[in-house]
């Protein structure tokens, strides 16, 4: 029998793509209304109903990025406290926990960051996701995915030619998720290291090239080392 997998944030951007494109996993989706991550009773009720073997924690706050600066209470509640609540319940019921973090936990200056490199988030969003990581890492039956992904098609009409990253589309992560779901620890997850412009242009040739002025609030080399991921995918 296939393992039951519960996905929080079931009405979110990635979850919708996962629901549409999933071929191999036995998935159950819980929306914000069905599973309030700020309420332990709500989480417990969902767990008892689904009885999952694995929980993929996608619920939280991401965009707009400015919200993490303007409303730190909301950012802390949803990305740190909510994740801590999910971790507590997973530990209580011995459920494997997979947490979607971000490459923004790295400093973003030197690039090629491996999972063993020191973390130093460059904005409040990265700090909030790192806070969630701290809770998840306390639970040994867990997997932290430091993901750099975006929607398809590329959302913007312009893209930075001097900002390097590892963007992948949601669909790309859906494809590889079954191959990494049984791992534990931390894995960097993304696509080829390249400028955001080159990534965007492959999907939309009409995207215009722009340059980002050297601004410490948005560092220019956010690339991650994907050797660990690639080794897993080859096996």
235 part of a folded domain: no
Give the CATH number, domain containing residue 77: 3.40.50.720
Each of the 235 residues of the chain gets a pLDDT tens digit; together they read 799 999 999 999 999 999 999 999 999 999 999 999 999 999 999 999 999 999 999 999 999 999 999 999 999 999 999 999 999 999 999 999 999 999 999 999 999 999 999 999 999 999 999 999 999 999 999 999 999 999 999 989 999 999 999 999 999 999 999 999 999 999 999 999 999 999 999 999 999 999 998 665 789 999 999 999 999 999 8
Return the residue matching tokens 């992904």. 149
Q: What is the pLDDT of residue 168?
A: 98
> Looking at residue 235, what is its pLDDT?
86
Total domains in the fold of the chain: 1
* Among candidate residues 9, 2, 3, the one with its CA nearest the CA of residue 170: 9
Asked whether residue 26 is assigned to any structural domain, the reply reads yes
What is the predicted pLDDT for the residue at 216? 56
pLDDT confidence of residue 94: 98
In a domain, 221, yes or no: no
Tell me if 104 is assigned to some domain: yes
User: What pLDDT is attached to residue 83?
Assistant: 98
Rounded distance, CA 223 to CA 218, Å? 13
What's the domain range around 39?
Answer: 4-153+167-191
pLDDT at residue 215, rounded to an integer:
64
Query: Is residue 203 a part of any domain in this protein?
Result: no
DSSP 151-208: -SS---SEEESS-EE--EEHHHHHHHHHHHTT--EEEEE----EEHHHHHHHH-TTPE
The reply to whether 123 falls in a domain is yes
The reply to whether 14 falls in a domain is yes
Report if residue 158 sits inside a domain: no
Q: Is 205 exposed, middle or buried (0-12, 13-18, 19+ CB in 10 A)?
A: exposed
């Amino acid at each position: 029998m296939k393992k039951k997998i519960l996905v929080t944030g079931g009405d979110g951007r990635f979850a919708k793509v996962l629901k549409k494109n999933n071929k191999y996993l036995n998935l159950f989706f819980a929306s914000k209304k069905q599973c309030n991550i700020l309420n332990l009773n709500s989480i417990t009720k969902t767990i008892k109903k689904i009885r999952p073997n694995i929980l993929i924690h996608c619920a939280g706050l991401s965009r707009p990025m400015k919200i993490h600066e303007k409303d730190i209470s909301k950012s802390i509640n949803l990305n740190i406290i909510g994740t801590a609540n999910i971790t507590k319940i997973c530990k209580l019921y011995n459920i494997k926990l997979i947490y979607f973090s971000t490459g923004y936990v790295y400093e973003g200056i030197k690039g090629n960051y491996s999972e063993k490199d020191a973390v130093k988030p460059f904005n409040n969003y990265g700090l909030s996701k790192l806070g969630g990581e701290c809770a998840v890492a306390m639970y040994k039956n867990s997997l932290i995915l430091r993901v750099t992904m975006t929607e398809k098609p590329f959302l913007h009409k312009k893209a930075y030619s001097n900002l390097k990253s590892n963007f992948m589309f949601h669909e790309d992560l859906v494809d590889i998720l079954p191959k990494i779901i049984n791992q534990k620890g931390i894995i960097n997850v993304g696509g080829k290291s390249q400028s955001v412009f080159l990534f965007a242009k492959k999907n939309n040739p009409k995207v215009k090239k722009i340059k980002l002025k050297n601004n410490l609030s948005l560092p220019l080399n956010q690339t991650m080392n994907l050797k660990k991921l690639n080794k897993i995918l080859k096996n």
